[in-house]
Chain A
Amino acid sequence: MNIVVCVKYVPDTGSQPRFTAEHRVDRAGGRLSELDEYAVEQALRVVDTVPGTRVTHLTVGPPAAAEALRRALAMGGDAAVHVSDDAIAGSDAPATALILAAALRRLSPDLVLCAMASTDGGTSLVPAMLAEHLEMPQLTFASEMSLDEGGTVRIRREAASEVRHLAAGLPAVVSVTDRIGDPRYPSFKGIMAAKKKPLETWSLADLGVPAGRVGAAAATVVDQITARPPRAAGTIVPDEGEGGRRLAGFLSEQKFI
């Protein structure tokens, strides 16, 4: 089984991310998207159950995005591919999906694993776009995933109004949620081993993706970005036996009761 996990290098959620003058996300001081760790974990669980499974981590991003790959490799897996090219800067979801799809064609996986969303853009567009480009079935927002010997992947998806069980033959694109099982922490041994695992860097030319289709040629433009004003400080009262009544007073003033 050949698994490719798509991982993204994102700004740390702990700090308020910023935009550059070109309206791009400032990726300085980033990390492996927290949600992608759940996808990496699922790949590693397949390794434990299906002998001969090979896991490759794939990212599209600036030079620093290699850190996300090293972090994923420290959790486990065999190799990593970093698609990096100056022309990629400023790419939107369609451009990113186009590049990822080209890299995936070259890696020809049986299973493509993604997270439900990136923690920066958070659009959930890329997994569905990959399925469309690669003409693979998509099984998205999986809160449970299993593979059987016949090459069928099954998932559970919790939609707002119903629970769905979906299945598809391989190759397939699967995206997972944070309910699928906690990701492991890289061990010290894992971190050391990751430094020696092969990490290849591919350019757009290597993939035959025309530079004119990505980056500045994105299908969307951002015209304006403004920081939202911080919320005005509120009234905080200690409960000295009247807290519930005082709150009722506030709600009544605001016409909620």
Chain B
Amino acid sequence: MSDVLVLVGHIAGQVGKPGLELLTLARRLGDPVVVCAGEADEAAVETLGRYGAERVHVIESDEPQEYPVAWVRALAALTADVRPVAVLTESTPDGREIAARLSVRLDGGVLTDAVDVQAGPDGPVVTQWAFAAGYTVTSRVVRGVPVIAVKPNAVVPSEAPVTPSVTRGALVLEEADRRTRVVSRTARESTGRPQLTEADIVVSGGRGLGGAEQFALLERLADALGGAVGASRAAVDSGWYPHTHQVGQTGVTVSPQLYLAVGISGAIQHRAGMQTSKTIVAVNKDAEAPIFELADYGVVGDLFEVVPQLLDEVARRRA
């Protein structure tokens, strides 16, 4: 079988779930060859092997602050060497930019936001959602090595254990790769809650919450359900919750098992980021709010009555 390059990125500690999802999809197309940086210690290599990585190529670098673009040169060289049937990467802002630049170097095609990838007679068949998930589109790359950026949660990771061989190569940077300088990077504090894009349950708040303090109520609900907290742009713009939690066109797209919208009207730009959620629940005091058009279950009422009662009831049922 032919190789498939899987860009897992920087490994610090455990291999992330998106990397395991990529490996699971890659196995449908050929033999996965992981490209990663960072620690990639024995435990990480073992995990990658458990999910089917035939080979792990570690890019070693002393550059503490290398910018993702710097990877592209190394990836292009590796692609020329391995001649894979496809290159898979995560459809995150960084991942899409690597995909963009790599495809220009390889003079081939690129597809982003894949929600499914299948092997086809003429190469990988990619499923995407278009226009706020109003359409399902299947496409193929017909020139060059297909570069495919896959959305988180596209597949449930499954195991297929092998023992990978490990190769290492140095990241060689040229002057041109250093033109974008990283002046500083400040890590965000972990909330202890699941990652928004990876969470099975997302509880989101909007302008209806009325202030930053009221988001504590939503955090309690998220914790009771084991979910992540999201926010509308109106709530983020008001400074009530950090932008990294914004769901929608210019925030993140989520597709959880359960999306609970509290005090959110359901504007088109918000819907674009959540309407593929499996089950949608809304709490809003306005019966005409467009969010109810999407809702599997909706409560027309004051969130400050409904949510505390819900919390009490969850606690009672668990007791």
Contacts and interface: CB of A to CB of B under 8 A. Distances in A.
A188 B250 CA distance: 29
Contact of A222 (B97, B138, B180, B313): B138
A124 interface: yes
A167 B183 contact: yes
Interface string B246-280: 00011010000110000000001100000100011
Interface string A117-156: 1011011111011011101111111010000000000100
Interface string A20-38: 0000000000000001000
Interface in B78-135: 92-94, 96-97, 99-101, 103-105, 108-113, 125, 129-131, 133-135
Interface stretch (A41-49, A55-63, A76-84, A243-251): A243-251
Contact of A239 (B92, B104, B280, B300): B300
- Is chain A's interface secondary structure helix, strand, loop, or mixed overall? mixed
Contact of B135 (A122, A133, A227): A227
A228 B133 contact: yes
A158 B244 contact: yes
A47 B317 CA distance: 62
Place the interface of chain B in its size category.
35 or more
A218 interface: yes
B110 A94 contact: yes
Contacts of B137: 222, 224-225
A116 B252 CA distance: 13
Interface stretch (B37-45, B53-61, B155-163, B290-298): B290-298
Place the interface of chain A in its size category.
35 or more
A113 to B, nearest CB: 16
B159 to A, nearest CB: 25
A129 B305 contact: no
Contacts of A168: 179-181
B139 A123 contact: no
Interface in B293-319: 293-302, 305-314, 317-318
Give the interface centre of B131, B233, B283 by most chain A CB atoms within 10 Å: B131
B173 interface: no
Contact of A248 (B130, B180, B310): B310
B279 A254 contact: yes
B74 interface: no
B97 A133 contact: no
A160 B92 CA distance: 9
Contacts of A93: 100, 110
Contacts of B139: 220-223
Contacts of B314: 248, 251, 257
B110 A224 contact: no
A191 B179 CA distance: 39
Contacts of B131: 16-17, 120
Contacts of A135: 176
Interface in A203-237: 218-228, 231-232, 234-237
Contacts of B167: none
Contact of B281 (A126, A226, A250): A250
Contacts of B187: 161-162
A257 B94 contact: no
Nearest to A254: B279
B216 interface: no
B135 A245 contact: no
Contacts of B144: 219
Interface in A160-201: 160-169, 172, 177-179
Given A123-B113, A131-B101, A162-B187, A236 B292 contact: yes
A62 to B, nearest CB: 18
Contact of B305 (A159, A220, A239): A239
A128 B97 contact: yes
A239 B284 CA distance: 10
Contact of A243 (B69, B104, B292, B306): B306
A223 B201 contact: no
A247 B300 contact: no
Nearest to B125: A223
B109 A235 contact: no
Contact of B306 (A116, A138, A221, A239): A239
A97 interface: yes
Given A13-B268, A166-B183, A247 B94 contact: no
What 4 A-B pairs have minimum CB-CB distances, sorted nearest first?
A: A244-B309, A239-B301, A219-B109, A137-B179
Given A218-B109, A237-B298, 20 more contacts: A94-B109, A132-B101, A164-B184, A166-B182, A218-B142, A220-B139, A220-B141, A222-B139, A234-B280, A235-B298, A236-B287, A239-B299, A239-B301, A244-B309, A244-B313, A246-B299, A247-B310, A250-B297, A257-B317, A257-B318
21 contacts: A19-B135, A35-B250, A97-B104, A125-B110, A128-B69, A128-B97, A128-B100, A129-B104, A162-B186, A165-B182, A166-B182, A219-B143, A228-B134, A234-B292, A234-B296, A235-B296, A236-B287, A239-B306, A244-B305, A254-B258, A257-B317
Interface of B: 67, 69, 72, 92-94, 96-97, 99-101, 103-105, 108-113, 125, 129-131, 133-144, 176, 179-188, 195, 197, 201, 225, 233, 243-244, 249-250, 252, 257-258, 268-269, 275, 279-281, 283, 287, 292-302, 305-314, 317-318
